[in-house]
Structure 1
Amino acid sequence: MTLQNNHSAQTSPSFATPVLVGAGIALLVILFFVLGADTPSAYGDYWMIRPLIVTPLAGATGGAFYAFMMYQSTRGFNKALAILLSVLVYLVGLWLGIVLGLDGTMWD
Structure 2
Amino acid sequence: MDPIKYFIFSMIISILGILRILLNRQNIHIMSMSIESMLLSVKSNFLVFSISSDDMSGQSFALLVPTVAAAESAIGLAIFVITFQFQGNITLESINSIQG
TM-score tier by shorter-chain length is: 0.3 to 0.5
Taking structure 1 as the reference length, the TM-score comes to 0.43
- Tell me which of the two structures has the higher relative contact order, counting C-alpha pairs closer than 8 angstroms and 6 or more residues apart: 1
TM-score, length-normalised on structure 2?
0.46
Counting helix residues as a fraction of each chain, which structure ranks higher?
Answer: 2
